[in-house]
């Protein structure tokens, strides 16, 4: 019997918006440096100069897909799942379309029931928050509508284009893959970057190769989803302080899980997304670039712009 409720709720949502408009300066949130209305966060760092400069990183003429293949059967804890169906509407049991189109046309179509947070994904700024607030003092009561986010939806994210850098943490630690729960700090990142000749710049997309997904996702799916190596909370804050555009890794959640002693689970997302509007990229396909020793590239991400979606299946392209 939600029918009428939804009408009442709409009215209520409005009331709520008003109510919360007085909260935007609450202690629990920090307004964005890009203004009270800003929804795109670090995408504001994209400039013509940076795009042109990044385009000059295309030297070998290679294009690498940063999205791994999304197998509907890939590991995912409940409740996340994906189902795909290939169907042939109007063509059941050999029914011909020739009567309709005057030639023996056949076609396949497909439908799916899925979560947008499976496999390689872009986390929108409305995905994770703290104490009621998401990026730029947006309160959940105001924006988290059941039928689609009212603000910070994935469709608001402009093309994320810029300089991408890869820091190979596995190589740095001399392993094929870091371990579950192994955290790396700002010192580790700086040491690895220096050794590998990578300089992180403002507006960059910083990707870390830990080896975790290549080593474990298919071989030990239960282990893969039960934890991961990644950023410490301090490393998350450090990267945020560099004003990068996005941070990603070849893990499902970026930060170390379980977190290192004293750290908070998933808090890297808060330092990056909620506090600084920096986008997070997960389950990136970094193995090929690491093997080739690619350090910097033109990063181009065009996510399907589903209105009101929280996150999205993606496949950013690295050009070098």
Q: Which of 31, 33, 36, 107 touches a copy of itself (CB under 8 A)? A: 107
- CB 317: neighbour CB atoms within 10 A? 16
Pairing of strands 63-65, 317-319: antiparallel
Q: Looking only at residues 28 through 67 of this chain, which bind a copy of itself when binding is defined by CB under 8 A?
A: 46-52, 55-56, 58-67
Q: Looking only at residues 204 through 263 of this chain, which bind a copy of itself when binding is defined by CB under 8 A?
A: 225-228, 252-254, 257-258
- Candidate ranges 13-21, 166-174, 183-191, 240-248; the one touching a copy of itself (CB under 8 A): 13-21
CB of 136 to a copy of itself, least distance (A): 15
Asked whether the beta carbons of 208 and 286 are under 8 A apart, the reply is: yes
CB of 237 to a copy of itself, least distance (A): 14
207, 277, 237: which is closest to 42 by C-alpha?
A: 277
Q: Which of 25, 36, 111, 191 touches a copy of itself (CB under 8 A)? A: 111
| By CB under 8 A, residue 16 contacts a copy of itself | yes
Q: Looking only at residues 114 through 143 of this chain, which bind a copy of itself when binding is defined by CB under 8 A?
A: 114-117, 119-120, 123, 126-132, 140-141
303, 231, 193, 239: which is closest to 42 by C-alpha?
A: 239
CB of 123 to a copy of itself, least distance (A): 7
Q: Which is closer to a copy of itself, CB of 12 or CB of 241?
A: 12
DSSP states of 143-174 as a string?
Answer: H--TTS-SSS-GGGPPPEEEEEEEEEHHHHTT
Q: Looking only at residues 144 through 183 of this chain, which bind a copy of itself when binding is defined by CB under 8 A?
A: 144-149, 155, 158-159, 161
CB of 178 to a copy of itself, least distance (A): 16
Q: Which is closer to a copy of itself, CB of 178 or CB of 192?
A: 178
CB of 139 to a copy of itself, least distance (A): 9
Neighbour-count burial for 286-302, b at 16+ CB within 10 Å, e otherwise: bbebbeeebbbbbbbbe
271, 13, 285: which is closest to 129 by C-alpha?
A: 271
What length does the chain have? 320
Q: Which of 22, 108, 197, 219 touches a copy of itself (CB under 8 A)? A: 108
Neighbour-count burial for 71-108, b at 16+ CB within 10 Å, e otherwise: eeebbbeeeeebeeeeeeeeeeeeeeeeeeeeeeeeee
Q: Which is closer to a copy of itself, CB of 140 or CB of 186?
A: 140
Q: Looking only at residues 85 through 104 of this chain, which bind a copy of itself when binding is defined by CB under 8 A?
A: 85-95, 97, 99-104
Q: Which is closer to a copy of itself, CB of 149 or CB of 189?
A: 149
Q: Looking only at residues 260 through 319 of this chain, which bind a copy of itself when binding is defined by CB under 8 A?
A: 264-267, 269, 282, 298, 300-317, 319
Q: How far apart are CA 296 and CA 38, in angstroms?
A: 29
Q: Which is closer to a copy of itself, CB of 71 or CB of 202?
A: 71
Cis bond leading into 160, ω under 30°? no
Q: In sequence order, which residues have a C-beta less than 8 Å from that of residue 26 and are 6 or more positions away?
A: 133, 137
């Amino acid at each position: 019997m939600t029918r009428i409720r939804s009408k009442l709720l709409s009215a209520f949502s409005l009331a709520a918006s008003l109510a919360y408009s007085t909260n935007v300066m609450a202690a629990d949130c920090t307004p964005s440096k890009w203004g009270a209305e800003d929804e795109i966060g670090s995408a504001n760092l994209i400039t013509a100069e940076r795009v042109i400069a990044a385009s000059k990183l295309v030297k070998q003429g290679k294009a690498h897909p940063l999205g791994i293949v999304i197998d509907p059967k890939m590991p995912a804890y409940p409740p996340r799942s994906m189902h795909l169906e290939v169907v042939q509407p109007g063509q059941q049991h050999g029914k011909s379309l020739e009567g309709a189109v005057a030639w023996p046309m056949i076609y396949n179509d497909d439908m799916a029931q899925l979560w947008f947070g499976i496999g390689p994904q872009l986390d929108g700024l409305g995905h994770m928050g703290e104490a009621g607030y998401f990026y730029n003092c947006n309160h959940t009561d105001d924006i988290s509508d059941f039928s689609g986010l009212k603000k910070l939806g994935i469709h608001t994210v402009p093309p994320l284009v810029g300089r991408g850098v890869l820091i190979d943490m596995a190589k740095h630690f001399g392993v094929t893959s870091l371990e579950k729960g192994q955290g790396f700090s700002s010192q580790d990142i700086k040491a690895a970057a220096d050794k590998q000749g990578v300089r992180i710049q403002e507006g960059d997309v910083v990707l870390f190769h830990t080896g975790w997904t290549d080593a474990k996702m298919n071989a030990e799916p239960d282990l893969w989803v039960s934890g991961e190596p990644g950023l410490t909370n301090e490393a998350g804050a450090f990267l945020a302080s560099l004003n990068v555009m996005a941070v990603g890794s070849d893990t499902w959640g970026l930060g170390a899980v379980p977190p290192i002693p004293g750290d908070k689970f998933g808090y890297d997302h808060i330092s990056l997304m909620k506090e600084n509007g920096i986008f997070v990229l997960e389950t990136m396909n970094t193995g090929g670039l690491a093997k080739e020793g690619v350090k910097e590239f033109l990063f181009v991400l065009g996510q399907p712009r589903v209105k009101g979606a929280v996150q999205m299946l993606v496949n950013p392209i690295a050009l070098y």
